Structure 1
């Protein structure tokens, strides 16, 4: 395993995962560049903040320049209409990979989502090698990002880990979380493992999930080689939650109207 890179860019640094990582293992990195279109709050001695819009390649190149690795967290983080998603999640992820190619940054930790496979049934065990079955436009945009990651790894030699994040929560609060929970401590272990993985891994897909007894997801052989070893288990909260009863792993995210952009044909619309 290689050590932590000395200079790391974090896009979407104002979000929940970015904030959590800043409070954990990112403090061990010599220089952390934080980027977002929102303020990130007070910066530490080893941090700097650059405002940048993911849809502007020149801005993305500027924040990527001089970095050893990029943790890409930026983008729309839940289901929305195509107009909202296409800029940050489609053009934005392209700009990150293209900027890394142009600026010679060798590694990206690409934040994908379990929503790439939301339409697999809850009785299936997945390891990340299955075909994408996204549960909405958000999941489809993350599948697009994974396809780009594969392209940039195969064609340009970029090392990319696509981390399909589960339910990142302080603690499980709903039945689905018993299968999908990712704890704050384990999210730090996950991203540290991704950044310290061996050079030359190409593109690897890994499920970002804690060590849940009821997990729907295991790690494939390539992902296991990254050294991610989660420790927390949602089972400790099982007595507080009812069982999961949805057909699909995506649960409510698979429902026809979820996200508000796909009203049923003929349904009345409120102006």
Structure 2
């Protein structure tokens, strides 16, 4: 059956890695971003929409004829409060409202680990890893904006019956960066597996899952992802010797940069590194 998926942030690095992995017969990817996305080998049928998430009319038009949404667009790093609220919170509101008006019910929403950044590893309380649906504890204004859109998603599920899976994404990179990535890496292939699970899980309602691979040193739970059919295959441990040679042996139980969900983002003074 033909399927059209709207991907916001279609020119970004995550969408660029996803496009060939989501290509399938009968599937069209509609890519929305403020700039046209680059050409990528191996992609299938694609449509380009150049628009901003804060343009409600353009977002509503982009949702016309769409079967599902993969929402990756927005401000992706720390910024002033007005900017993270305009792009992330208000932009997501425009998208969910457009989905509601088009009776479009299936959405994967890219949240972030930074929505829960100040939570700390606790093997005694959570031997199978920190649950994905921990209450928000944002580590930055950016993390605050992601916690805000999780709450907004819950509203649209409860009030309007949408199915929205919020993914608290770890380090989505081709290879795990630095030592932190040995625990929190999400490989591009597992990222695509997770997106497919979010698109196909039967009637999920509102869910929060970690965006993380099956890493040996992982201390975040996979149970919530497995409940929607996400079974990651990749393990950052294959890169461990290389990372340890460069950065030293990590201590994920005591080092605050490694045993907090948000890592060193928790130490940013507000207003710095923007």
- The residue that corresponds to 1:96 in the other structure is 95
Measured at CA, do residues 181 and 29 of structure 1 come closer, stay the same or move farther in structure 2, by a change above 3 Å?
A: farther
Q: Which moved more, 1:42-51 or 1:201-210?
A: 42-51
For 1:27 and 1:136, how far apart are their aligned partners in 2?
38
**What is the root-mean-square deviation of aligned Cα atoms in Å?**
2.0
Q: Per-residue CA shift, 1:47-92, capped at 9, x if unaligned?
A: 1101111011111100011101011000011111213212111100
Structure 2 contact 108–167 (Cα < 8 Å) conserved: yes
- The residue that corresponds to 1:194 in the other structure is 198
- The residue that corresponds to 1:9 in the other structure is 6
CA shift for structure 1 position 27: 4.0
Q: Which moved more, 1:122-131 or 1:46-55?
A: 122-131
Measured at CA, do residues 220 and 48 of structure 1 come closer, stay the same or move farther in structure 2, by a change above 3 Å?
A: same
CA shift for structure 1 position 258: 6.5
May I ask how many residue pairs the two structures share in their alignment?
Answer: 257
- The residue that corresponds to 1:133 in the other structure is 137
Equivalence map 1:93-132=2 (5 Å): 93-123=92-122, 125-132=129-136
- Secondary structure of 1:70's counterpart equals strand
- Secondary structure of 2:30's counterpart equals strand
For 2:80 and 2:68, how far apart are their aligned partners in 1?
31
Question: Which 5+ residue runs of structure 1 have no aligned equivalent?
Answer: 263-271
Measured at CA, do residues 42 and 239 of structure 1 come closer, stay the same or move farther in structure 2, by a change above 3 Å?
A: closer
Equivalence map 1:1-271=2 (5 Å): 6-28=3-25, 30-42=27-39, 46-123=45-122, 125-198=129-202, 200-221=203-224, 223-240=225-242, 241=244, 242=248, 243-244=250-251, 245-246=255-256, 248-257=260-269, 260=272
For 1:106 and 1:20, how far apart are their aligned partners in 2?
25
For 1:88 and 1:226, how far apart are their aligned partners in 2?
28
For 1:226 and 1:165, how far apart are their aligned partners in 2?
16
For 2:24 and 2:81, how far apart are their aligned partners in 1?
36
- Secondary structure of 2:70's counterpart equals strand
Measured at CA, do residues 172 and 160 of structure 1 come closer, stay the same or move farther in structure 2, by a change above 3 Å?
A: same
For 2:214 and 2:77, how far apart are their aligned partners in 1?
24
Q: Per-residue CA shift, 1:100-156, capped at 9, x if unaligned?
A: 001111111101111111101234531122211111111111111111111111110
- The residue that corresponds to 2:126 in the other structure is none
Structure 1 contact 252–258 (Cα < 8 Å) conserved: no
Measured at CA, do residues 259 and 226 of structure 1 come closer, stay the same or move farther in structure 2, by a change above 3 Å?
A: farther
Question: Which 5+ residue runs of structure 2 have no aligned equivalent?
Answer: 124-128
Q: Which moved more, 1:42-51 or 1:162-171?
A: 42-51
Structure 2 contact 54–86 (Cα < 8 Å) conserved: yes
For 1:28 and 1:123, how far apart are their aligned partners in 2?
44
